[in-house]
Structure 1
Amino acid sequence: MNGDAEGQGAQSTEADLNDDPLHQTEAVREYFGDAYPRVERYAIMLADQGVLRGLIGPREIGRLWERHILNSAAVAPFLGDGTIVDVGSGAGLPGLVIAAMLPERRVVLVEPMERRTTWLFEAARECGIENVTVVRGRAEEVSEAVEGDVITARAVAPIDRLVKWCAPLLTAGGEMALLKGRSAPEELDRAKYVLRKFGLTGSVESAPTLAGLEPTTVVRLRRAA
């Protein structure tokens, strides 16, 4: 009885994910290359469990690849070298996607909520993503245990707050690559005094993925010369 119910639920969720026009397309396979099996498994897990576990909304499954997976992947070219720290990792966006794409890099996922850290452990294991470390806590609480050459974050907080929380985690030559929306230039301008305090300069970058999709906006923050 339970097995039948679980099977029906899995079929229903898979059908929802299949409503996503990008799911299992050749364009997505080519974009992710060798990382595709890991990223696809993650997408399927997120579609299957994400709503139940409070990670994504029910309307997100039909546009999971564009809105979440590819949006997260777009930051990869801006991640420089060294250890990557994803602050407020939540569902693993962008942290798990980045780790799947860059298996040679160490990726630290910082997340304060226990149920989400449990998900991050499970998803990394199930998807064969072996280069992640999960740390439970807020960014401002883990500076003694976590240090990154690059810090990223998605849908966590405005830039001024992120800088206050995350600057103490940066190595001496470190930088931030933050996933932001269309209001990024205005948000960056509002953060100018905080950036000056921490010796950072900022720029807004366009990060395209697939042809026909709106580029992701990435805010890069670097140590001032």
Structure 2
Amino acid sequence: MQSEEYRSRLVDGANQLGVSLIEPQSSQLLSYLTLLNKWNKAYNLTAVRNPEEMLTRHLIDSLSIVPWVKGENIIDVGTGPGLPGIPLAILFPETRFTLLDSNGKKTRFLTQCKLEMGLGNVTVVHGRVEEFKPQQPFDQVISRAFSAIENMVGWCSHLVDDRGQFLAMKGVFPEEELTSLPDGYKVEQSHSLEVPGSDGERHLIIIRKTR
């Protein structure tokens, strides 16, 4: 899956998002895609079966939030097969990424990715987010199709202090979910994302504690 066609589509898609991929980033992203496609055939890690669709719906979609990723210590909750955590870890090698999921098959895959790709800035955690106790607060909590925003901030509130942010990746604008946002939280920013090659709506909602 290191073909020039895939590389060209990846680099072009990233460029349209304002993300400039350099080597070895593009090669690492395609190596991850190869692993995901290979493991998916046996372990059903994602409903997307076609590697060309994976390139758009998983890789390029994950890169769409790059401008808002900040901090030294970030957690991707309900990461599944590492989305968006693995692509972001490749782009931000100086940032520590914790990838958490309760599905053992998916965390085994992530551990294999970490080993094969030499991702020293990645920590894989198999468990439920409510029970995970970090040694220090995270700068950002990221989720992609993890749960409703109300659940995200409720289950993950112990992962950040008052300076931390929640980054929720959503499809259509989650108006109803935001009306259920608990007291003590506010929407700091919302962004409509134009993901190249994707027909559906994509949004990023950034939330912060107010207390």
Taking structure 2 as the reference length, the TM-score comes to: 0.84
Which residue does the alignment assign to 1:27? 12
Letter in 1 for 2:186: L
Which residue does the alignment assign to 2:193? 207
Which residue does the alignment assign to 1:51? 41
Letter in 2 for 1:206: S
Which protein is richer in helix relative to its size?
1
Which residue does the alignment assign to 1:142? 132
| Distance change >3 Å, CA 162–CA 52, structure 1 → 2 | same
**Aligned pairs for 1:59-98 within 5 A:** 59-98=49-88
Give unmatched runs, 5+ long, in structure 2: none
2:159 is the counterpart of 1:169: yes
Deviations 1:77-114 (CA, angstroms, capped at 9, x unpaired): 11222211000111000111110111010001111122
- Aligned-residue offset at 1:47: 1.4
**Aligned pairs for 1:124-203 within 5 A:** 124-145=114-135, 147-189=137-179, 191-192=180-181, 194=182, 196=183, 198-203=184-189
Distance 1:95 1:182 in 2: 21
- Aligned-residue offset at 1:52: 1.8
SS in 2 for 1:32: coil
Distance 1:150 1:176 in 2: 6
Letter in 1 for 2:175: P
SS in 1 for 2:42: coil
RMSD across aligned positions (CA): 2.5
- Aligned-residue offset at 1:120: 0.6
Taking structure 1 as the reference length, the TM-score comes to: 0.80
Are the equivalent residues in 1 in contact too, given 2:185–2:207 (CA < 8 A)? Answer: no
Paired-residue identity, %: 26
State how many pairs are aligned.
203
Which stretch shifts more, 169-178 or 98-107? 169-178
- Aligned-residue offset at 1:56: 1.3
Are the equivalent residues in 2 in contact too, given 1:39–1:127 (CA < 8 A)? Answer: no
Distance 1:116 1:132 in 2: 15
